Amino acid sequence: MRKLIALLLLLLPSSVWSATYYVNATGGNDSRDTTQAQNSGTPWLTIQKCANSVSAGDTCSVASGTYNEWVTVTANGSSGNLITFVSSTNRAAHVRGFTIDGQYVKVDGFYVEYAGDTCTNIPSNDCKPGIEVKKSYAQVVNNAVYNVRGMPGIGTEPGYLTAPAWTNRPNNVTVTGNLVTHSQYGIIAYGDSWLIDNNEVNQLHLYTFESGTDCDYTRAWGNNVTMSNNFFHGATQTEFDAGCHVDCIQTFGGGAAGYLADFTYNRNWCSGMSETMLEGHSGALSIRHTYSNSVFADGLNSGAGMGVNAEDVDYVTITNNTFFNVSAAAMYDATATAIHGLMRNNIVSLSSPGTYIFQFWDATNTEDHNFGYKPGGTAYCDCNYGDSSIFHATDIKNVDPKFVNSSNLLGADGIPFTTDDGLILQSDSPAIGAGYGGLDMGAYQYSTSSSVPVLVTPIDNETAGWPVDFTWQLFTGAVLFHIQVDDNSNFSSPEIDDATIDPDNACDTECHYIVGQGEELANGTHYYWRVRALR
């Protein structure tokens, strides 16, 4: 079910007088003053001129064109009064890169093609992330980043010359809706309360001067880091053969790199990887990681890639994931020091080199209600049961989980977590209803029309005021809710696409999703909305 609404313009006082300045590579002139630059007919020539002129609440609107500059932003915005750099046409303003060195700065909709020709050695001051985040409260939104050598497309790489000290790490950073491609690393979080949501990292590339090192989709350090609804894919065997170790997410502890604690990895797709590496040794504080509702598929090196490799990280929870064509779903540290882990409701379909669905040795770890299968072979569980052929009594072993189409994992649209995906369960799959609490096993809950809750408000053609309270009826058996809001009835590019709504937090007598003014939705716009229950 979907409903059409419109939003009512409300005029509210602002504590800051803001200005919009215009930049145009055609006809721009940096000798113009700030009054002239507020007219699109008399713009500045460079983005850097605008960056040097802005204050809290101001916007730099950049016209389509090529800007052969690396933009450094040192001015600070404030809460509710961001400094915004926006491409007037999405991804049509081409720039060499951004360094965000001021607080409350937003970079929106640019095409960043890295000036990597002088980056030939790591560490080097000539090597920087495509959009470098050095200060707190940054927002990096809807950008395309290409060809970053030896560094991440977006974020901060700790341990190199450009990184801030751990005690000065940037916090409260949002990275959403971006594309990073043909770069050595994708997105790197380095600070507390980062949200990395709805991004795509594609086709990692190993540069020759970095031969024999890592090419990671993501890395993370800090507290309360969340990665959700991301699409990580496209690393090839060629990169692996050149010595590139590809992780979906890597972290390691000790020294200047810090640690990763209270980390959430939910509803992400990662394919073409060596493993997900979590190294918490050297007395680090890496602890409490949750991996849920995600897909780890097609390990490199003929399926030798692993899912989650937790080294010395305590309290790692792995629930309702699908591991396909990997050598193992998870290993909890061969030294037996990773404790209090939980593995539950996962489907593991091993590759030909694979043997064990899980490997752990400490008795404090819990494994139950999992599905282990190896096409043409036998799956084992090295799970501290005394014999690797022994599984937990609630596990299902060595029968076909019955995916819809295991030869075409993403379906015709090539997009994860859509209705044509090959890893959706067939209606007669033994994994349906066999999980803990009567849930389905794996990342895809078997979908029927009964998974659509009844929508309450806003009703069809209602003009809604701020904040907008999307309300629907309670739904028995829902583990999560997924809401989409789009200005197009086909929901092709939703402004809101959140599959992480917890009924325990969102529901009382009814369920609510509240959007405030100035967030994802715009005034005077017709929107469609829909909700489904994930069971």
Chosen domain end from 393, 428, 447: 447
Domain shared by 377 and 438, yes or no: yes
Q: Are 392 and 415 in contact (CB under 8 A)?
A: no
Task: Answer yes or no: is 422 within a domain.
Answer: yes
- Which DSSP state fits 274? S
Is the same domain home to 494 and 403?
no
Contact 129, 95 (CB under 8 A): no
Is residue 416 located within the same domain as residue 293?
yes
Specify the length of the chain in residues: 535
Let me know whether 385 and 464 are in one domain. no
Residue 260 domain boundaries: 247-447
The dihedral over CA atoms of 305, 179, 84, 500, expressed in degrees to the nearest 10, equals -60
Please provide the distance, in angstroms rounded to a whole number, between the alpha carbons at the two ends of the chain.
18
Alpha-carbon distance of 280 to 410, in angstroms, equals 33
Cβ within 8 Å of residue 465, ≥6 positions away: 7, 8, 10
Contacts 24+ apart (CB under 8 A), 502-510: 503/474, 503/475, 503/478, 503/479, 506/481, 507/474, 509/474, 510/456, 510/471, 510/472, 510/473, 510/474
Which residue, 447, 468, 491, sits at the end of a domain? 447
Q: Considering just the CA atoms, what is the radius of gyration of the chain in Å? A: 24
Domain C-terminal end among 447, 463, 497: 447
Q: Within this chain, do residues 315 and 386 fall inside the same structural domain, yes or no?
A: yes
Task: Kindly list the distances between the CA atom of residue 330 and the CA atoms of 225, 264, 344, in Å, as whole numbers in the listed order.
Answer: 21, 16, 12
Task: Give the alpha-carbon dihedral of 22, 28, 34, 35, to 10 degrees.
Answer: -80
Could you tell me if residue 387 is inside a domain?
A: yes
In a domain, 331, yes or no: yes
The count of domains in the chain is 2
476 and 516 housed in the same domain? yes
In tens digits, the chain (535 residues) has pLDDT values of 445 544 444 444 444 579 999 999 999 999 999 999 999 999 999 999 999 999 999 999 999 999 999 999 999 999 999 999 999 999 999 999 999 999 999 999 999 997 556 676 666 666 788 999 999 999 999 999 998 887 899 998 755 545 677 788 999 999 999 999 988 899 999 999 999 999 999 988 877 655 557 788 999 989 999 999 999 998 877 777 776 788 899 887 754 557 889 999 999 999 988 777 776 654 557 888 999 999 999 877 666 677 888 777 888 899 999 999 888 877 765 555 677 888 899 999 988 888 888 877 677 888 899 999 999 999 888 787 667 778 889 999 999 999 999 999 999 999 999 888 999 999 899 999 898 878 889 998 775 445 678 888 998 878 888 899 999 988 877 778 889 898 877 677 788 988 888 888 899 889 999 988 778 888 888 888 988 887 6
**Predicted local distance difference test score (pLDDT) of residue 255:** 46
CATH number, domain with residue 468: 2.60.40
Confirm whether 279 is domain-assigned: yes
Task: Using DSSP, state whether 501 is helix, strand or coil.
Answer: strand
430 token code pair: 């033994």
Q: Does 267 reside within a domain?
A: yes
Q: What is the DSSP letter of 189?
A: E
256 and 376 both lie in a single domain: yes
The H or E element containing residue 349 is strand 347-350
The pTM of the whole model exceeds 0.75: yes
- Asked if residue 272 belongs to a domain, the reply is yes
Distance CA 9, CA 524 (A): 7
- Integer Cα distance of 446 and 429 in angstroms: 9
Both 354 and 465 in one domain: the answer is no
Do 266 and 340 belong together in one domain?
yes
SS3 52: coil
In a domain? residue 198: no
Indicate if 347 and 418 belong to the same structural domain. Answer: yes
Q: In this structure, is residue 417 part of a structural domain?
A: yes
Is there a cis peptide before residue 375, judged by omega within 30 degrees of 0? no
What pLDDT is stored for residue 13 in this prediction? 43
Same domain, 433 and 522: no
326 and 434 together in one domain: yes
